[in-house]
């Protein structure tokens, strides 16, 4: 780990600023001219490709937090290996195209020390992802690489429709919650319920239709505390209990859910990793008159 090189790359990306789309076009031109077979991986319109490139630079820009999100990068690499058939040998031409684009864009400003910094930082992230890609090729199933997993839980719950109903009930409550609801401003309840259902169905042993990022990546710009997760868990318990599921199933669901906590909890705003330029950490301050949610009695199946 070389903090100096990580800082050089972060500063360089900041300086690129609004020219990022121009750099993106240069990157894809070099990559696909020399490696046309990679067009099956880097597909989509210009906006889609620019967003993918932007996300790559955003990850490199925040690589000083690499140790904190290492598990999530590993999961991201495994998903790319399964979903897009990315291979370890694809990282070298990607790196070469990025270096050529940077040299073309920065000119004399792409000094030898800066080139070395980019080289080292790219390799740090690529090494983690390549390990995951290699493992993905040897997996016999298509389940998510989850910290929490219960392969028989979906059947015990009663299927995907039950999971969706619980999540709809959960989000209806949490959107109105005076503290946790602050994290969901501008979001859509129905969309979140669907995405969360897709993610958890895979964690419960169902088919994997989830195409989003891992929880740690989705929430890496949010200051989430252990107390907030504990309050969220009470709301989730109530939503599950109101469906009339047994206490055993409630506890199994909660165990899976808690498996993702380690990648979410942060001690301060300084641990937040910003996803894009101009973004600020999302912080929900606790209201002075806040009352911690309480667990309600579960609804009995024959009620």
Q: How many CA atoms does the CB half-sphere of 145 hold within 13 Å?
A: 24
Q: What is the mean pLDDT of the chain?
A: 85
CA-nearest of 18, 17, 38 to 28 is 38
Residue 161 pLDDT exceeds 80: yes
- Determine contact, residues 69/273, Cβ cutoff 8 Å: yes
d(CA 272, CA 281): 6
Q: pLDDT (tens digit, 9 = 90+) per residue, 94-135?
A: 999 999 999 999 999 999 999 999 999 999 888 888 887 777
Report which listed range, 139-153, 205-219, 236-250, 251-265, is most confident.
Answer: 236-250
Q: pLDDT (tens digit, 9 = 90+) per residue, 204-243?
A: 988 878 766 667 778 888 999 999 999 999 999 999 999 9
**Mean pLDDT, range 175-194, rounded to an integer:** 96
Measured over the CA atoms of residue 104, residue 105, residue 106 and residue 107, the dihedral's sign is: positive
d(CA 81, CA 79): 5
Report which listed range, 22-36, 66-80, 81-95, 200-214, is most confident.
Answer: 22-36
- CA 31 vs CA 93, 122, 175, 177, 226: distances in Å: 7, 16, 44, 47, 43
d(CA 254, CA 232): 11
Give residue 75's pLDDT: 67
Domains and CATH numbers, the chain: 3-137 (1.10.490.10), 153-271 (1.10.490.10)
Angle CA 193–198–204, to nearest 5: 115
Give residue 277's pLDDT: 60
Residue 165 pLDDT exceeds 70: yes
Give residue 136's pLDDT: 62
Residue 98, Cβ neighbours under 10 Å: how many? Answer: 22
Q: pLDDT (tens digit, 9 = 90+) per residue, 267-294?
A: 888 778 776 666 789 999 999 999 999 9
d(CA 164, CA 201): 9
Verdict on whether the full-model pTM lies above 0.85: no
Residue predicted with more confidence, 50 or 124:
124
d(CA 272, CA 223): 6
Give residue 144's pLDDT: 41
Buried b (16+ CB within 10 A) or exposed e, 25-61: ebbbebbbeebeebeebbeeeeeebbeebbebbbbbb
Residues 6+ apart with CB under 8 A from 59: 73, 125
**What percentage of the chain has pLDDT greater than the value 90?**
50
- Determine contact, residues 281/269, Cβ cutoff 8 Å: yes
**What percentage of the chain has pLDDT greater than the value 70?**
85
d(CA 145, CA 292): 33
Q: Is 107 left (phi over 0), alpha (psi -120 to 50) or beta?
A: left
Q: Which pLDDT band holds residue 143 (cuts at 50, 70, 90)? A: very low
Would you give the DSSP letter of residue 285? P
Q: Please give the full DSSP string across 123-185, using - where no structure is assigned.
A: HHHHHHHHHHHHHHHT-SS-----SS--TTHHHHHT-HHHHHHHHHHHHHHHHT-TTGGGGGT
């Amino acid at each position: 780990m070389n903090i100096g090189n990580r800082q050089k790359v972060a500063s360089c990306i900041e300086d690129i600023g609004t020219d990022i789309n121009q750099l993106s076009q240069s990157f894809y031109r070099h990559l696909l001219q020399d490696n046309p077979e990679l067009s099956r991986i880097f597909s989509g319109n210009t906006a889609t490709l620019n967003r993918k490139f932007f996300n790559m630079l955003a990850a490199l820009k925040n690589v000083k937090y690499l140790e904190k999100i290492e598990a999530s990068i590993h999961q991201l690499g495994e998903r790319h290996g399964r979903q897009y058939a990315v291979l370890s040998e694809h990282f070298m031409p990607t790196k070469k195209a990025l270096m050529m684009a940077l040299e073309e864009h920065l000119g004399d400003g792409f000094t030898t020390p800066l080139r070395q910094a980019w080289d080292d930082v790219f390799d740090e992230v690529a090494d983690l992802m390549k390990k995951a890609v290699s493992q993905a090729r040897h997996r016999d199933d298509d389940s998510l690489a989850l910290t929490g997993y219960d392969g028989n839980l979906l059947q015990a719950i009663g299927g995907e429709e039950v999971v969706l109903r619980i999540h709809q009930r959960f989000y209806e409550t949490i959107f109105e919650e005076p503290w946790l609801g602050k994290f969901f401003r501008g979001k859509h309840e129905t969309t979140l319920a669907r995405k969360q259902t897709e993610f958890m169905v895979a964690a419960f042993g169902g088919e994997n239709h989830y195409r989003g990022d891992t929880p740690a990546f989705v929430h890496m710009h949010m200051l989430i505390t252990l107390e907030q997760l504990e309050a969220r868990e009470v709301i989730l318990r109530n939503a599950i209990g109101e469906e009339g599921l047994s206490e055993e199933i409630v506890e199994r669901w909660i165990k899976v859910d808690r498996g993702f906590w380690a990648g979410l909890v942060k001690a301060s705003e300084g641990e937040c990793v910003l996803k894009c330029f101009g973004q600020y950490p999302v912080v929900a301050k606790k209201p002075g008159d806040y009352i911690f949610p309480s667990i309600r009695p579960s609804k009995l199946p024959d009620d």
